[in-house]
Amino acid sequence: MSTQILDETRQPAEDVTNADSSASRADKSRSASRDKDAVILEEHIVEVISDSGEGAQRCGQSFGSIAARMGNGIWTVEIIPAEIQPPARSIAGASGIRIRLASRRVTNGGDEADLIVAFNEQVLLKRVRDNELKPGCIVLIENKWRHDQDAGIAASYAATIDKLIADGHGVHEIPMEEECLRYVDNAKRGKNMFVLGMLSAIYSLDLEAARNQVAFAFAKKSSAVVESNIKLLNAGHEWALENLDMCFRIPPSDVHEPQIVVNGNVSLGLGLMASGMEICAMYPITPATSASHYLSDVFHNVGGAVHQAEDEIAACAFAIGASYAGKCAATITSGPGFALKQETIGLAVMAEIPLVVINVQRGGPSTGLPTKAEQGDLLFACFGGHGDTPNVVMAAADIEDCFYSVIAARKIAETFNTVVVVLTDASLASAQQPYPRPKIDTDWLAPPINQNAVPEGAKPYDWDATTGLANRFIPGQPNGMHCLTGLAHDRMSRVAYEPDINEEGMRSRSLKLAALQKTLKTPLVYGGDEGDMLIVGWGSTKGAIEEAVDRLRADGHKVSSLHLKFLQPMASGIGDVLKRFKRVLTVESNWSDSLDDTIIDEENRRYSELAWLLRARYLVDIDCWSEVRGQPLKPGVIATAIREKLHQKGK
């Protein structure tokens, strides 16, 4: 039966978009009849989990893109094992992707999964262990293991299935490999497209859009590869229609304007180009490197270059050299590399050279959790330098914000001649979310390098008494010759150890942060303007926090949230906002001591990082809740934590 259908759909790859083909008509009528029976859902969380190299991520990304194309809000989260090729069928090797799709804009990965496709029971067990399955979760699992020649494997598979059924999950054993082998010789390559076909059928996605997506995903491959994958897609779709008694439909959101679908690191790369920066120096480090992969592909088209330096220090020094000699440059790294760069960052602050440093945070300290998310570098970013190194710190709140943050960072760095640190993290790096296509503005670009003669008598550090701002003389400018130095220096950039001059330099560099602060707008409160509790967050947790606030407010709690983009300096008016709430709680993904631990009390408790900052600045008794599980915070977990805090008396 399915073979016959497939024969009809066999056609050259370039024809796949032909909507008038008989195959498409057949699909459409079939889908239309199923559509009536489809269960309408607000949202669903889908996961595809496999061994490394079986293509679960490509499958999930394609699935997300098709759903987005059909108007759904989506958010994808990659599930990445630490090793490149971990052993097959191992719990630690679980590799895959989560796709949350909804009839509205999605801002985070959500709570537990509604439906999981697993290529074997071991990788599924990883998700079970991590409590990632919703009660009654639909499980679609490859069934070939049931009759595996290795009795141990067969037994493990059978036991897992029994346990899942006993726990109330809806298990569907599927002959994925068997079906795929009807069309290809090696099912390991291509099973993911069969799954994509199944998912397209289950979620009533347009098969034509799915075919286009597959053609797009394999655009760099030969037409034979495209054709073979489309065949498998069709097969999966067909198989699901024939054999699965489930069909959902998630109506589109009311988004009309064009969206772009990228992950956080690509968003950073696009932002870098849109900001007019032309040089990005880096050293490979997870999870920051993929931003440079993207940039390396395209940067030359705008006259830019990615420089892979010999180490993190060199990357930062290289960017500083490039900034000094012309336009502001960037370096991009993650925690360990950010630590190595600190001395060079201090030099840029001291010598007042613009520089953008992007830190895609990962779990620390030391090598820590290289592939996992954490917000552990906030205080380090603010206070990492030796001596007083007032640099700007801002954090991107979502994928879209990664783009605009870099543009803002370049502008601030060049206006204030200082270092701007942009914090993102592993959860944004590989997460995908559609956002409105930016309307590129050439005003975002850096101005041309100033090569005009410096007026006679002008000083390289002519600090303004009020703002601390000074001009910057760029090599090539006649009369501007001076020797920049990381030593204490006077207005002529001469080495100076005199107490008054040292204090004048310190004061001027510090005033620049205040001057920037005067331009910042008070962030808006999400929820009500006052109430019982204000949640304060920063960075990638914004979507999850606001969703938690929505749920709590729906339950009648007077809870609101405030999300900070600028962490150093902080905008005016935040102190007033804090005071309008009975209690303030930061929610973060970094370590904080729990008062439940026997020896922890108010005098020795170490707070999470934003809580330290806010307590110090606003003298408000701010509490904190945090988690360091290496995963993006879940709205449900946050809501539960807040509920508990609301019920606690006095804390």
Please give the Cα distance from 285 to 367 (Å, whole number): 11
DSSP class of residue 370?
T
Instruction: List the one residue from 5, 59, 68, 128 that touches other proteins (CB under 8 A).
Output: 68
Site string for other proteins, 284-303 (x = CB under 8 A): --------------xxxxxx
Q: Give the nearer residue to other proteins in terms of CB position, either 270 or 552.
A: 270
> Taking contact as CB under 8 A, which single stretch among the options 189-197, 314-322, 375-383, 595-603 is the one that binds other proteins?
314-322
Instruction: List the one residue from 185, 310, 500, 602 that touches other proteins (CB under 8 A).
Output: 310
Please give the Cα distance from 478 to 402 (Å, whole number): 38
Q: Give the nearer residue to other proteins in terms of CB position, either 25 or 129.
A: 25
- Contact flag: residue 318 with other proteins (CB under 8 A): yes
Please give the Cα distance from 495 to 490 (Å, whole number): 7
- Contact flag: residue 306 with other proteins (CB under 8 A): yes
Can you spell out the DSSP letters for 430-476?
S-EEEEEPP---GGGSPPPPP-SPPPTT--TT---TTT-------TT
Can you spell out the DSSP letters for 359-406?
EEE-B-STT-BTTS-----HHHHHH-SSS----EEEE--SHHHHHHHH
- Contact flag: residue 523 with other proteins (CB under 8 A): no
Peptide bond into 569 cis (omega under 30): yes
Looking at residues 343 to 372 of the shown chain, list those that interact with other proteins (rule: CB under 8 A): 343-344, 347, 351
Instruction: List the one residue from 244, 305, 501, 525 that touches other proteins (CB under 8 A).
Output: 305
Please give the Cα distance from 331 to 347 (Å, whole number): 14
Q: Give the nearer residue to other proteins in terms of CB position, either 117 or 355.
A: 355
Q: What's the closest the beta carbon of residue 115 comes to other proteins, in angstroms?
A: 21
Looking at residues 146 to 165 of the shown chain, list those that interact with other proteins (rule: CB under 8 A): none
- Contact flag: residue 270 with other proteins (CB under 8 A): yes
- Contact flag: residue 255 with other proteins (CB under 8 A): yes
> Taking contact as CB under 8 A, which single stretch among the options 240-248, 413-421, 476-484, 624-632 is the one that binds other proteins?
476-484
- Contact flag: residue 43 with other proteins (CB under 8 A): no
Instruction: List the one residue from 195, 198, 279, 535 that touches other proteins (CB under 8 A).
Output: 279
Residue among 111, 207, 128, 222 nearest 168 (CA): 128
Can you spell out the DSSP letters for 569-581?
SPPTTHHHHHHTE
Instruction: List the one residue from 53, 175, 321, 368 that touches other proteins (CB under 8 A).
Output: 321
* Burial classification of residue 33, based on how many CB atoms lie within 10 Å of its CB (0-12 exposed, 13-18 middle, 19 or more buried): exposed
Instruction: List the one residue from 41, 154, 181, 313 that touches other proteins (CB under 8 A).
Output: 313
Q: How many CA atoms lie within 13 A of 84 on its CB side?
A: 1
Task: For residue 317, give the amino acid letter.
Answer: A
Instruction: List the one residue from 315, 340, 407, 429 that touches other proteins (CB under 8 A).
Output: 315
Looking at residues 386 to 445 of the shown chain, list those that interact with other proteins (rule: CB under 8 A): 434, 437-438, 440, 442, 445
Q: Give the nearer residue to other proteins in terms of CB position, either 8 or 311.
A: 311
Instruction: List the one residue from 367, 479, 519, 640 that touches other proteins (CB under 8 A).
Output: 479
- Contact flag: residue 467 with other proteins (CB under 8 A): no
Please give the Cα distance from 493 to 501 (Å, whole number): 11
- Contact flag: residue 221 with other proteins (CB under 8 A): no
- Contact flag: residue 450 with other proteins (CB under 8 A): no
Q: What's the closest the beta carbon of residue 592 comes to other proteins, in angstroms?
A: 35
Please give the Cα distance from 461 to 550 (Å, whole number): 50
- Contact flag: residue 89 with other proteins (CB under 8 A): no
- Contact flag: residue 337 with other proteins (CB under 8 A): no
- Contact flag: residue 52 with other proteins (CB under 8 A): no
- Contact flag: residue 272 with other proteins (CB under 8 A): no
- Contact flag: residue 304 with other proteins (CB under 8 A): yes
DSSP class of residue 524?
P
* Burial classification of residue 292, based on how many CB atoms lie within 10 Å of its CB (0-12 exposed, 13-18 middle, 19 or more buried): buried
Please give the Cα distance from 214 to 194 (Å, whole number): 11
Instruction: List the one residue from 482, 491, 580, 605 that touches other proteins (CB under 8 A).
Output: 482
Please give the Cα distance from 82 to 147 (Å, whole number): 30
Structure tokens at 357: 């440093």
First to last CA, the chain: 66
Please give the Cα distance from 53 to 188 (Å, whole number): 8
Give the largest CA-CA distance in the chain.
Answer: 90
Instruction: List the one residue from 159, 458, 483, 616 that touches other proteins (CB under 8 A).
Output: 483
Site string for other proteins, 527-556 (x = CB under 8 A): ------------------------------
